[in-house]
Structure 1
């Protein structure tokens, strides 16, 4: 499956809840890089230049040392031990307003990795070198996953959010080189695309469905509706975890995302069929949820990314409308947007259908 670089970027921005910045940090339509790392280098470069124009975020960092006079907290024991007071000096602890905040250090460390990446195109590399010169006052880190978990953003530095998501993504995909002697960036693997697809669909509906029309978007987990159960059943029965639930007065939808290399597989007679397990799972969700007010006749949707062919199967069973369809992630973004909305909004059902299009000259990545 081929997915344009621009669409990967949009999927990530929805999944990261960073929609406000997505168009200001990268003109994906004009991007001349054909790889994801080139896109991320451009996003980081443009975003950090904006930060530099605004002024890098600074924070108070703890300092301790011997100084002339007294500043902050006087550390009595080391001051007396060194007999510093006779020379009007003291050992003190104080807070210094510095650029060495954790977000800035993560940014610089990521730029240093990009600088050393041999596959980066020349234009992106020049931008990386330019930004690194401006980040000279910031000390780099030996980056680990724990550094990203420690970041705390607030209203005044929310501009860092998308940039740090990009840094974390690069860090997670920066793996030892197969040739040895260093590390290199690795593009998406299918398992990560599956998780991204699920998160994207949830955040898309959470952001795009109009709350003023009463839509609520959730991903609840719930247990089985049983009449009686012993202790082992209570302990061992798995809970059901939905991907996306869409609800408004008079309508409810349980949507399950499935990211497979091939959505259709041949049965014993050679006919292409959808996975029975997918339907059993979805129907179980529908029946177990049906006891709740408003969910008695909930609809079920299985959403697959398009691979070899498109399909849109619709049927009704036991009072539940069920639909299995594909979403072509190789299409222009506006068509993807309209196709997803058409699942939930009746006014959009006559809009663009999800079907193959000419590949054109879009820049793509392969998974």
Structure 2
């Protein structure tokens, strides 16, 4: 039901929220029918689409890195050790040293012109293109924005902004093709926590993993073809490197490993390849326990030692290039391959704001808007 058609006594609305309305929302805000003249105005009802990515530090200096890493590594979905053991280690040792090395890594990939990380730049570009696509389909009935799980802009701030603009329905879209508790689930958790602070909660939906969506697989295959076509010598192997998680997550019910393996299989089938041309690996191992294997940094060295002198690496678990792709893959993993005798290393960028990728994400969004917008 449209808010203006609801009887006044049934409407719960905080006058402080009314004061915080954006200029565009205030222009279309109305007092509900049959309500007293002094009732706060309510903006016209819209549907919000909130894209969510992992996050980024505000800068690469020590304190910016410490704040970002402290938030990230304090997330129990990411590090699920007992806080009695983990927090002293984190606060007294890790956050004393790691901001320096992580800051240097971020500095090496930083978008200095824009004053932000590449992940931020790419997410803004993705959001702009998806906004244009959604508004072409649904007009001003939709509001498209983005947030970060860690750092800024926060999920809480963007939920508040969407509600202020009259979004009585919000579709929350974690930009992770494969589901994991450490990525999609923690993004959803944070979204739900933000909703807990809303007096008039919007109706919400969350977008599930989209790793097997045909248009996503097609976009992934097209990026590989473009990468290979640009090379004089074709790679001997395509390494699909996914962000790792502890091995025990698999036995505890997390579907991430299975979805990663299936992503590689679907990509292989779309390309018309066989198992000798493509493989699955996992990167970004952290801590002492066993993680999903094979580890990318070790596997690329083994490939070189076995005579695979030319390889290409792609990162299908990332919707946008970030520190794990631009620095870890393009530097640490490349170095491991070359030191083992590898000769030609090619990194195929993430799908980023590629038009085919944006079209695939937009198709996923439209499917999840059914019943809300047609």
State whether TM-score is above 0.5: no
Looking at secondary structure, tell me which structure has more strand per residue: 1
Compute the TM-score of the two structures, normalised by the length of structure 1: 0.26
Looking at secondary structure, tell me which structure has more helix per residue: 2
Bigger-Rg structure (1/2): 1
Compute the TM-score of the two structures, normalised by the length of structure 2: 0.26
